[in-house]
Amino acid sequence: MPDQAGSAAPTGPSPVGPLIVVALDFGLKRIGIASGDTLTRAAHPRSTIANGPKGPDWTALERLLADVRPARIAVGEPYNADGSVSPLTEAARRFAAELAQRSHLPVDLVDERWSSQDAEERLRDARASGERRRRVTREDIDAAAAAVILERWLERWSKQHTRT
């Protein structure tokens, strides 16, 4: 079951080894996907899957999870700029709950405010610097936003599991 809003950091005992984590940027048209791990603490944009009136492409998502074999999933929880919930917040929570039930994996909700803007800025900067050659698409932004969500999850995980 997803954590309640505001408690997105993973809980429980410290893992024995590194964890592979998949992050999802929930949207009504597409769901951005990123993956990473707690050893390198790096998040990598992967792709997107379709979402629509009939729901997400569960087959594609289940195939991805089978390939990546994550220990946990982080789902972006959208809020309005002022921190209030929106209709998209509730839709993302329902998606996260169904994902937890289908995948049998822990699903953590992560505040995703401004993740898409951050992702778009990073991608445009990479293109302006010549690091990225092709134009930036909505799919690129959604996958990069999932990486931003995963970076936030990894930062909280690191704070919880790093001994000082």
In three state form, how does the secondary structure of the chain look?
Answer: CCCCCCCCCCCCCCCCCCCEEEEEECCCCEEEEEEEECCCCCEEEEEEEECCCCCCCHHHHHHHHHHHCCCEEEEEECCCCCCCCCHHHHHHHHHHHHHHHHHCCCEEEEECCCHHHHHHHHHHHHHHCCCCCCCCCHHHHHHHHHHHHHHHHHHHHHHHHCCC
The structure's pTM equals 0.83
pLDDT at res. 8: 47
In the prediction, which pLDDT does 76 show? 95
- pLDDT for 15 equals 53
User: Nearest-CA neighbor of 93 among 107, 114, 105?
Assistant: 107
Residue 44 has a pLDDT of 95
Q: Would you tell me how many other CB atoms lie within 10 Å of the CB of residue 73?
A: 23
Q: Which of 98, 99, 92 is nearest to 73 (CA)?
A: 99
Q: What's residue 159's pLDDT?
A: 85
Q: Give the tokens for residue 19.
A: 């964890």
Place of tokens 């429980």: 12
Contacts of 100 (CB under 8 A, 6+ apart): 1, 2, 73, 106, 107
Q: What is the pLDDT along the chain (164 residues), one digit of tens a residue?
A: 444 334 444 554 445 678 999 999 999 999 999 999 999 999 999 999 999 999 999 999 999 999 999 999 999 999 988 889 988 999 999 999 999 999 999 999 999 887 777 777 887 777 677 776 777 788 988 999 999 999 999 999 888 887 65
Please state the φ and ψ torsions of residue 89, each to the nearest 5 degrees.
Answer: -60, -50
